[in-house]
Amino acid sequence: MKKQILILTFFVAAIFAGTSSYGQDVDYVNASATDCVTPTPLTCVTNNNELAPIPGKTYTYGINVSPTVTTGNIQWFVYNATTTGGIISAYDISTAAAAAEADGGTSLFLLDAEDGIYNQSTGNDQATIDISWQSFNGTSNIILLVAYVEGEDGCSDNIEVYRIEPAFAFTLDIAGMFDDGTIPASGNANECVSPVQSASYASDVLTMDYGQNYIYFSVNAANFVNSWMPTFSVEDNTTGATVTTAEISWAYPDQAILGASGAATGTWNSASTAVDAQATTGAVGPGGECIVVRVLLDYGNVENDVASHFTLGVNGIMYDPSDGGYDTPGLADLDPVASAPCTNTATDVATYDMTPRPNITTNTTVGTGDKAFEPKN
């Protein structure tokens, strides 16, 4: 009797263990944190430097002054010379300095400048300044970094300017994510196909609902300012599952995971919602920032008894401060092309493999005209 109970206990435990490995329709990442796919550097962007800066990245600008300024002043400021090129008029620079681009992110051109050094009319002898830039068209906009130097005791002055023409380097990377929040070191992420949700026999037919799966992807956006608008596409879907745009959504990593209360409490956004930079500066550098993308696969009566896969594509356009929108083709994410200029026409993709359910065939002899199995729908 004790032996029978023990066998039964192991049998039940085995059932539960098997069930727990099925694909789940849980609509959040069942983890306390998520991995972030590593961005791929753009080797095709080779000309980025202080005068062709990547937006959001901090650069150091400097000058050499002889004789060294000790009692004079070095005034650094950013000036928009697109419509008015006059910087010094009637021996006076104060008008241009008053029209300098504002520090702190409100400018369309200057993102951030070194505190205590930027646009100081007196008391600064530092010959360098740290600056980061917004994304803008440096050909149609004439943006100058001005270095105005007053010599010892204000006895003389001189001026030099750097013209800034940003290099565009916005990129996207995507990878499949397991439902525990991790990303495979190589190859595709995979998931067991959903367990059978329901099976009901009536009128000589076994009516099936094979359930649904949520699958997850990590998308990293690097080298952008303010925000970007995603566009998702189904590049390949051999699962037979129904997928619509309404069933694709995204969340910031801290919103995609299991909440402290033991339930999913985060906010998921529609596929057509812009992704804001989470950095306090509003600018994201080469390390990027990730979002978690969720796709609902609804199988209906599709059996999925063979291995299948689902491929999600993503493109993005960075926010254009000049018109407040996401429709500037030149701000689309770039993709590397070997030994060629970067392209913004490629789609970044990642594939998710679905492990099939058992394929059942008959091994029972039936009479002439009899059906081996009752039909399904």
In the chain, domain spans: 25-42+169-355, 59-163
pLDDT of the chain, 377 residues: tens digit per residue = 333 333 333 333 333 333 344 666 788 998 989 999 999 888 777 678 999 998 888 999 999 999 887 778 999 999 999 999 999 999 999 999 999 999 987 888 998 999 999 999 999 999 999 999 988 889 889 999 999 999 887 789 999 999 999 988 899 999 999 999 999 999 999 999 999 999 999 999 999 999 999 999 999 999 898 999 999 999 999 998 889 877 999 999 999 998 666 666 789 999 999 999 998 878 888 889 999 999 999 999 999 899 999 999 999 999 998 889 999 998 999 987 766 678 888 899 999 999 999 999 999 988 887 778 999 99
Instruction: Tell me how far apart the alpha carbons of residues 23 and 192 are, in angstroms, rounded to a whole number.
Output: 4
For residues 211 and 25, is the Cβ–Cβ distance under 8 A?
A: yes
Strands 289-298 and 348-355: unpaired
Q: Where are the beta strands (DSSP E) in 223-325?
A: 224-225, 227-237, 248-251, 269-270, 275-276, 283-284, 289-298, 308-318
Euclidean distance between the first and final Cα of the chain, in Å? Answer: 44
Q: For residue 103, what is the DSSP state?
A: T
Residue 238 structure tokens: 């051999």
Distant-in-sequence, close-in-space partners of 301: CB < 8 Å, separation ≥ 6: 207, 208, 209, 210, 376, 377
